[in-house]
């Protein structure tokens, strides 16, 4: 079901409950354990390190990149990294579901810890609904520590935390990384949950991760250390207490049940069938070697203490440079603001080809975000920006051109599988550089949430994205155009012959269009 607002936008109405939280506060951080990522010299001596080092020496200063567009391969990559790790696993996510894939990955972390691997799991507290018991049980393992970013002191009903400490609670950790032995890391847009790995009949997010090996993995580990030691990261044991024997037994029972489900069997089979980790260890995995830079927000942003030069958006602008020929951008939550719309318009007016793919009203899961985008469409189109809006129907052609069922289960092309909602966050510049990460082009990513991603200087990957926009995006989306005489918008469906032209937001309802119009009048863009 489409939501009118993201949950944070309606929490102000809970102010009357503030009295319930009197006396609730976060525990002190004194006494919190200290730890650091595996030093580079030790990382090179692990099995993963020994396998990758000869390849890295052939490409000094570069990273080996393997795109993970297939959702099951993306799941398998994480499980196989957990199985391959010998010394450390550093794992950082915004959302971790307690569903089939979420439970399987928690068990993969536990199995690694049983082998003696040190596991550090850092999760945003806003995205772990119902998992306190499971995470506390995992944290009880002597080789595991779980921390929560900007946690809510009142555990029974977390939204009340926005009432007493809105300024902090409104800042979330949106980073996503999975790093083994400081040597190989998965970075991208996927959270952990069935909808991100193609294991659900509901919303399937078309998404993109990359496996990266080489020096950039050490950079990710260093970034993780900063977040792990930040003033926003609290040991879960200090928030929920140590689990009782009964709670541990119940958590183990739920995990065992998830392991035995038919969906789990299918995913276990995928892990065994997909050979890429074995190929990596044997030096046979096709890797794109390219200069690659990690860009990340300083964790101080989580407490509103980061300066402009500590923000990802500043580092990204330096790493990417100014587009001279083309900019192809994919963002599920695209809210450019007046400043951003002016920037894209200026690029287009000076001859830079700007193409943007975002969710249509029918595909988005947050109508408020669509309102923040829709109010800028006229301005962008007038300047010559090309706008595509993803179709929601998984039975139709995807941007990657996959049939319905294949699109649900298999990735096709740089933007991943078909689905009913876009979630990939990537862009290509001048057919040369690509960004892959967690950053949405919206005010929340720029100013409130912490983010992380890779800037990859690879003409091969950037030109793949250009071909996707040219050859496949038109079939899986509606192109929005402006009638030059009337100024009204039209949605063009190029998949039909002749192309169909629609006069209103496709597959939308009247109440949705009215809601978007009303939401666009509210001063909420800074929160989107």
Render pLDDT for 379-396 as a digit per residue (tens, 0 to 9): 999 999 999 999 986 444
**Structural domain span for residue 488:** 291-527
- State yes or no: pLDDT of 257 exceeds 90: no
- Catalytic position from the list 66, 124, 174, 442: 174
Catalytic residue from among 423, 442, 457, 493: 423
Q: How many domains does the chain have?
A: 2
In this structure, are 236 and 335 located in the same domain? no
**Residue that finishes a domain, picked among 282, 312, 329:** 282
- Helices vs strands, H then E, count in the chain: 21, 21
Scanning 336-376, the segments in alpha helix (DSSP H) are 337-349, 367-374
* β partners of residue 434: 428, 456
Q: How far apart are CA 291 and CA 296, in angstroms?
A: 17
Please check whether residues 134 and 242 belong to one and the same domain.
yes
Catalytic residue status for 425 = yes
The active-site residue out of 132, 297, 365, 430 is 430
Q: Which of residues 221, 252, 282 is at a domain's end?
A: 282
HSE of 413 in the Cβ direction (CA atoms, 13 Å)? 25
Active site residue 268: no
Interval 484-496: pLDDT, tens: 888 899 999 998 8
426 and 448 share one domain: yes
174 has catalytic annotation: yes
Contact 200, 103 (CB under 8 A): no
Containing H/E element for 110? Answer: helix 100-114
- Specify the CATH number for the domain of residue 178: 3.30.870.10
Looking at the chain, how many residues does it have? 528
Catalytic residue among 181, 328, 442, 457: 181
Tell me whether residue 71 is in a domain. Answer: yes
Between CA 254 and CA 256 the distance in angstroms is 5
Q: Is residue 416's pLDDT more than 50?
A: no
Catalytic annotation on 176? Answer: yes
**CB within 8 Å of 12: residues ≥ 6 apart:** 162, 166
Contact 205, 195 (CB under 8 A): yes
| Domain boundary pick from 282, 303, 331 | 282
Closest CA to 249 of 105, 134, 128: 134
Same domain, 250 and 302: no
Please indicate, yes or no, whether the overall pTM of this predicted structure exceeds 0.95. no
Question: If pLDDT is split at 50, 70 and 90, which confidence band does 46 have?
Answer: very high
* φ, ψ of residue 230 in degrees (nearest 5): -75, 165
CA–CA distance, 459 with 437 (Å, rounded to integer): 18
Q: Could you give the CA distance from residue 199 to residue 503 in angstroms, rounded to a whole number?
A: 35
Residues 172 and 264 reside in one and the same domain: yes
Give the C-alpha separation, 285 to 277, whole Å: 8
**Segment 274-299, tens digit of pLDDT:** 888 889 888 889 999 999 999 999 99
Contacts of 516 (CB under 8 A, 6+ apart): 361, 367, 370, 371, 374
pLDDT of residue 201: 63
User: Are the beta carbons of 83 and 110 closer than 8 angstroms?
Assistant: no
Whether 158 is catalytic is no
Active site residue 297: no
CA pair distance 55, 49, nearest whole angstrom: 10
Q: Average the pLDDT over each of 61-65, 118-122, 198-202, 511-515 and give the range with the smallest value.
A: 198-202
Q: Is 149 within the bounds of a domain?
A: yes
Catalytic residue among 328, 425, 442, 493: 425
């Amino acid at each position: 079901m489409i939501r009118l607002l993201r949950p944070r936008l309606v929490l102000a109405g809970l102010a009357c409950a503030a009295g319930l939280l009197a006396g609730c506060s976060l525990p002190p951080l004194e006494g919190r354990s200290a730890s650091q990522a595996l030093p580079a010299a030790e990382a090179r001596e692990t099995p993963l390190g020994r396998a990758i080092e000869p390849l890295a020496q052939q490409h000094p200063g570069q990273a080996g990149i393997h795109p993970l567009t297939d959702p099951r391969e993306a799941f398998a990559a994480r499980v196989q990294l957990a199985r391959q790790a010998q010394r450390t696993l550093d794992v950082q996510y915004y959302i971790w579901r307690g569903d089939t894939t979420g439970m399987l990955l928690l068990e993969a972390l536990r199995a690694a810890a049983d082998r003696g691997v040190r596991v550090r799991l850092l999760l945003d507290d806003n995205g772990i609904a119902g998992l306190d018991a499971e995470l506390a049980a995992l944290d009880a393992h002597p080789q595991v520590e779980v921390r929560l970013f900007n946690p809510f002191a009142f555990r029974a009903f977390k939204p009340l935390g926005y009432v007493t400490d809105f300024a902090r609670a409104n800042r979330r950790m949106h980073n996503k990384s999975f790093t083994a032995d400081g040597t190989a890391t998965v970075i991208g847009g996927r959270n952990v949950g069935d909808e991100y790995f193609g294991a659900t009949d509901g919303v399937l997010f078309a998404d993109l991760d990359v496996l990266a090996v080489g020096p950039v993995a050490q950079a990710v580990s260093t970034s993780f250390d900063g977040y792990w030691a930040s003033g926003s990261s609290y040991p879960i044991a200090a928030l929920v207490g140590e689990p009782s024997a009964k709670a541990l037994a119940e958590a183990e029972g739920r995990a065992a049940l998830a392991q035995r489900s038919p969906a789990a069997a299918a995913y276990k089979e995928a892990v065994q069938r997909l050979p890429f980790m074995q190929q990596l260890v044997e030096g046979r995995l096709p890797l794109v070697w390219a200069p690659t830079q990690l860009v990340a927000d300083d964790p101080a942003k989580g407490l509103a203490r980061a300066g402009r030069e500590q923000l990802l958006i500043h580092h990204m602008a330096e790493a990417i440079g100014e587009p001279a020929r083309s900019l192809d951008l994919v963002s599920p939550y695209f809210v450019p603001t007046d400043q951003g719309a002016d920037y894209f318009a200026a690029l287009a007016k000076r001859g830079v080809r700007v193409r943007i793919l975002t969710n249509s009203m029918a595909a988005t899961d947050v109508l408020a975000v669509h309102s923040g985008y829709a109010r800028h469409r006229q301005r962008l189109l007038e300047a010559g920006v090309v706008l595509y809006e993803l179709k929601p129907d998984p039975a139709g052609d995807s941007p990657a051109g996959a049939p319905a069922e294949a699109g649900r289960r298999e990735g096709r092309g740089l933007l991943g599988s078909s689905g009913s909602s876009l979630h990939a966050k990537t862009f290509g510049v001048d057919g040369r550089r690509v960004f892959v990460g967690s950053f949405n082009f919206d005010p929340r990513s720029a100013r409130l949430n912490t983010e992380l991603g890779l800037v990859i200087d690879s003409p091969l990957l950037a030109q793949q994205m250009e071909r996707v926009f040219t050859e496949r995006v038109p079939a899986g989306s509606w192109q929005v155009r402006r009638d030059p005489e009337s100024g009204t918008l039209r949605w063009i469906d190029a998949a039909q012959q002749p192309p169909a032209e629609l006069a209103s937001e496709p597959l939308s309802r009247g109440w949705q269009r009215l809601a978007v119009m009303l939401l666009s009048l509210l001063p909420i863009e800074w929160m989107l």
